[in-house]
Copies of this chain bind each other. A is one copy, B any other.
Amino acid sequence: MYICVVKLEQAIQSNKFKNEMHKASLNILYTAWWLKTQMSKVLKEFGLTHEQYNVMRILKGKYPEQICVKDISCRMIEKSSNVPRIIDRLVIKKLVKRADSPFDKRETVITLTQSGLAVLAASTESVNQLMDEMVKMESEDATQLNLLLERLRGTE
């Protein structure tokens, strides 16, 4: 499916919004879907899903330290992600390794493999390139956007 660049009204074929806040909610949901879809296209070339990529990024953030499943979960953007299952698929592709924690036998610790590091580096380069091409926004606008999103969630 081809996704052309369109305003929200065109994208969802509606201009009946209760108010600006209602429109903003739909705009956030649509923009999130748009971002994920664009990124997924690039990641697919590396055989990765958006969520698998997210887990790998988190592992890279601590590399070469090992990190347990719970600590990955609490760093996920979507908190209800089922991390053990995402890891299952990364293990099959030999991009990460599972091991028992030496400190707590309940925990499983995960590490990127050499192959995982390589795939992550290559895919990250493609993703960054896509973002540079796709997202046309000044740094000040991005800062303002961050401010407004935090305000919306009531964190200030």
Question: Could you tell me which A residues sit within 8 Å of B by CB distance?
Answer: 1, 3, 5-8, 11-14, 16, 18-37, 61, 74-80, 128, 131, 134-137, 139, 141-146, 148-155
Residues of chain B within 8 A of A136, CB atoms compared: 151-152, 154
**Other 13 A-B pairs with CB < 8 A, given A8-B149, A21-B139:** A1-B80, A5-B154, A7-B155, A20-B143, A20-B146, A21-B135, A22-B131, A24-B137, A25-B135, A32-B33, A33-B79, A135-B154, A137-B148
Residues of chain B within 8 A of A131, CB atoms compared: 21-22, 25
Residues of chain B within 8 A of A135, CB atoms compared: 21, 25, 152, 154
The A interface, classified by DSSP as helix, strand, loop or mixed, is: helix
Contact between A5 and B141, CB atoms less than 8 A apart: no
Give the distance to chain B from A81, nearest Cβ to Cβ, in Å. Answer: 10
Give the distance to chain B from A8, nearest Cβ to Cβ, in Å. Answer: 7
Give the distance to chain B from A98, nearest Cβ to Cβ, in Å. Answer: 21
